[in-house]
Amino acid sequence: MMPIRILTYEDNQQLRESVVAMLSLSTDFILVGSFGDVLKVEQQVKELKPDLILMDIDLPGMNGIEAVKKVRLFNAWVHIIMLTVFDDNKHVVDAICAGASGYLLKMHIPEKLMESVNEVIQGGAPMSPGIARMVIAKLQQLPEQSNTYQLTAREKEILSSLSKGNSYKLIAAQFNISIDTVRTHIKHIYDKLQVRSQTEAVSKAIHEKLV
């Protein structure tokens, strides 16, 4: 299996070096770049072709949320995990709406980084427990959108579960259906929403208040 290509953006040099050192301990990962700002993010992502980006939010010149938006204009599939000290609702929702695949507080990096990277590569959406609770609360506060995409009741339930960061396995257990059935439902959801990835589907669901 090819190693996962990882690109990191973090302006705290000590933390950046610590993340780089952690990643170097595993042969499953290859670090393709490590930068203190995102001013050349488009050029770097296109040239370095990462599978996954670890992105700080609070960066000089341009913040990580704006960088995610820029990346999503030309790359819908690269996984992006936000690394941040922020744990307020605005940053959480902004990051996810911008297209982040997952969200990890810096205080949890030592014990959760590897787990989060592996989870997002496998199609999950890793979040710190507190972050997940806040995103769920935010989603529950949003008014329901008219069902312009003709989603079935089950498809809306699965999209809602997907938006909360649940894996296919968890969704299958939640609704007492097989993982293959979950995949079929999610394929139909992608087709109806005209998206190609979980990140795009969740972002659209939040933006358009589908869940």
Q: What is the CATH number of the domain that holds 197?
A: 1.10.10.10
Q: In terms of residue numbers, what domain contains 174?
A: 142-207
Both 198 and 147 in one domain: the answer is yes
Among 46-60, 95-109, 194-208, name the one with the lowest average pLDDT: 194-208
CATH of the domain at 69: 3.40.50.2300
Both 75 and 110 in one domain: the answer is yes
List beta partners, residue 81.
Answer: 54, 102
Q: Is the pLDDT of residue 22 over 50?
A: yes
Both 31 and 80 in one domain: the answer is yes
Q: Give the model's pLDDT for residue 144.
A: 56
Rg (CA), the chain: 17
3-state secondary structure at position 182: helix
Q: Give the model's pLDDT for residue 150.
A: 83
| pLDDT tens digits along 53-83 | 999 998 999 999 999 999 988 898 899 999 8
Q: Give the model's pLDDT for residue 143.
A: 59
| Boundary of a domain, candidates 80, 106, 128 | 128
Both 117 and 159 in one domain: the answer is no
Q: Computed from CA positions of residues 119, 42, 57, 8, in that sequence, does the dihedral angle turn out positive or negative? A: positive
CA separation, residue 86 to residues 39, 56, 57, 203, 206 (Å): 21, 10, 8, 20, 20
Q: Which residue has the higher pLDDT, 107 or 53?
A: 53
Both 90 and 11 in one domain: the answer is yes
Both 119 and 31 in one domain: the answer is yes
Output the average pLDDT for the chain: 86
**Alpha carbon distance 161, 157 (integer Å):** 6
3-state secondary structure at position 50: coil
Residue 154 lies in a domain: yes
| pLDDT tens digits along 148-185 | 678 888 998 999 888 888 888 999 999 999 999 998 99
Residue 135 lies in a domain: no
pLDDT band at 194 (very low <50, low <70, confident <90, very high): confident
Residue 134 lies in a domain: no
Q: Give the model's pLDDT for residue 146.
A: 47
Query: Token pair 């370095």 is at which residue?
Result: 48
Residue 137 lies in a domain: no
| Boundary of a domain, candidates 72, 101, 128 | 128
Among 5-19, 153-167, 192-206, which range has the highest average pLDDT? 5-19
What's the total number of domains in the chain? 2
Q: Give the model's pLDDT for residue 174.
A: 92
| Boundary of a domain, candidates 128, 153, 180 | 128
Residue 83 lies in a domain: yes
Both 24 and 115 in one domain: the answer is yes
Residue 119 lies in a domain: yes
